[in-house]
Amino acid sequence: MSKEPVQMEQIVSLCKRRGFIFQSSEIYGGYNGFWDYGPYGVRMKRAIEQLWWNFMVETRTNVEGLDSTVICHPKVWKASGHIDQFSDEMTDCKDCKNRHRVDQMEDPTTCPACGSKNLTEPREFNLMMKTYVGPIFDEDHVAYLRAETCQPIFVDFHQVRVASRQKLPFGIAQIGKAFRNEITPRNFTFRSREFSQMEMEFFCEDENAMEWYEYWRDQRLKYYSEELQFTADDIRTHDHDKLAHYAKAAMDIEFKFPFGWGELEGIHHRGTWDMDQHQEFSGQDLQYMDHDNQRKVTPTVIETSVGVDRTFLAVLCKAYDDEEIKEGESRLVLRIPAKIAPVQAAVLPLSKKLSEPAEKLFADVGKYFRSEFDVTGSIGKRYRRQDEIGTPFCITYDFDSAEDDAVTVRNRDTMEQDRVNVTELRAYLDKKING
RNA sequence: GCGAGUGUAGCUCAGUUGGUAGAGCAUCACGUUGCCAACGUGAUUGUCGACGGUUCGAAUCCGUUCACUCGCUCCA
């Protein structure tokens, strides 16, 4: 059953039509690089975040959570290198139209691509979003929106450690918004200017760092295969040969998007770079006292950093299936894993006459699963509507239901139905959805 | 940001040499239907991306701008 590879336009169109994602500020013509999650989108986005949180935090004793502010003391970004490193001088060649980083050019007056000297004045491109804190808008009150969620984790390391009574090795995880003035937002939500990250910084001793690096790489790959059901065709890893200034080892987990391979997650061995920087800039002692060995160590950091919006997009691309049912008839179905589907169970009365008892059933199902009630249109029509938003189970209340206290549960992928007693419905769905 | 392309109802698109907008799907109502896009009748929807100009008259011509797609660049 080979199918046409999905195109980005189809994903964008579906997202808009069914209320997953639409452009920010659309009535004003939109705003480049900003996207809103609609009713189904926010359900699935939160489910993805919850899935990651459960996997990374709730099911472990050695990872703690944090929810820090978007705006931090400006020195945080000075220490992290973002204010300097995120700021590139760029020049455009007026002849061959290529853009170059001035610091990477052998001769800043000559275009490396075509040799022309007809270049624009170097202009600074800083990716940090700037704002002011306090009512006075001058240079002394400049602040930045965080460009990544991990820096506040380093900054709060000691507070979290003391409060949670953790010893090395342990991790701190955070989900939240980050902001970057991307030069070119592109590929729908893949690269936007406001986005959500799910990051975990694992603090350990340097001797064991590579082992932890490998451990977290394996854990994260397990998450993609077992939790998100991505296969070897969807996912590949890519080891960095050129390392960033802070990294000792680094790899990406990439997903095969319609527009090509794109990074979902980065796993980095950051050494003691961040902790050293914050120690230096804050003047505070950020070392960890290892009482067992009577020594102080600066923790080494292993980072796992995921883009929520990218995960969301990957799930949709993978799930999208325009399936041919018979000659000339197809159904659009999103084969989203049940755990993160925006609607996990739709309650549908077979006929409008059955609305009242069906609504009672819906009230009960809705307590335990993300659910929806729909009475408009034929039953087949309503199944197709649910297929389109990836609802794994449709519960149909029919004319026998009052008699036998049972309903049919229709499976999205197989389109087959089970007759399930209402008293067993919760357990039935729970097993199918949560395993 | 630079270069190229695109921009008409929620979606996909039509709109002839400038004469103030249509189709299919979707949505909603009523009837019908009783488990996979049925059908019938009716209804809603657009300052033709935005602003400005030329013209008696602009979706159609010109300018600017915004957004999207592709390339350069960058990254979670």
Distance CA A269, CA A201 (A): 10
Q: Is residue A240 a contact partner of residue A247, using CB atoms and an 8 Å limit?
A: yes
Closest residue by Cα to residue A252 from A234, A269, A266:
A266
Distance CA A359, CA A397 (A): 10
Q: Name every residue whose Cβ is closer than 8 Å to that of residue A22 and which is 6 or more positions away in sequence.
A: A15, A16, A35, A36, A38
Q: How far is the CA of A133 from the C1' of B71 (A)?
A: 39
The answer to whether some atom of strand B lies closer than 7 Å to the beta carbon of A331 is yes
Q: pLDDT value at position A82?
A: 85
Q: pLDDT value at position A351?
A: 92
Widest pairwise Cα distance in chain A: 85
Q: Name every residue whose Cβ is closer than 8 Å to that of residue A289 and which is 6 or more positions away in sequence.
A: A296
The answer to whether some atom of strand B lies closer than 7 Å to the beta carbon of A130 is no
- The interface predicted TM-score (ipTM) is 0.86
Q: Name every residue whose Cβ is closer than 8 Å to that of residue A232 and which is 6 or more positions away in sequence.
A: none
Q: pLDDT value at position A301?
A: 96
* Alpha-carbon torsion (A44, A45, A46, A51), positive or negative: positive
Q: How far is the CA of A387 from the C1' of B39 (A)?
A: 23
Closest residue by Cα to residue A141 from A55, A48, A41, A74:
A74
Within chain A, which residues score under 50 in pLDDT?
1-2
Residues A257-266 pLDDT 10s? 888 888 999 9
Residues A132-151 pLDDT 10s? 998 888 888 889 999 999 99
- Shortest-distance nucleotide from A266 CA to C1': B76
Distance CA A61, CA A418 (A): 39
The answer to whether some atom of strand B lies closer than 7 Å to the beta carbon of A252 is yes
Q: pLDDT value at position A382?
A: 94
Residues A163-193 pLDDT 10s? 999 999 999 999 999 998 887 787 889 988 8
Q: How far is the CA of A364 from the C1' of B16 (A)?
A: 59
Q: pLDDT value at position A202?
A: 97
- Shortest-distance nucleotide from A394 CA to C1': B35
The answer to whether some atom of strand B lies closer than 7 Å to the beta carbon of A179 is no
Closest residue by Cα to residue A128 from A187, A75, A177, A182:
A182
* Protein residue closest to B37, using CA and C1': A381
Q: How far is the CA of A377 from the C1' of B43 (A)?
A: 16
Q: How far is the CA of A286 from the C1' of B74 (A)?
A: 32
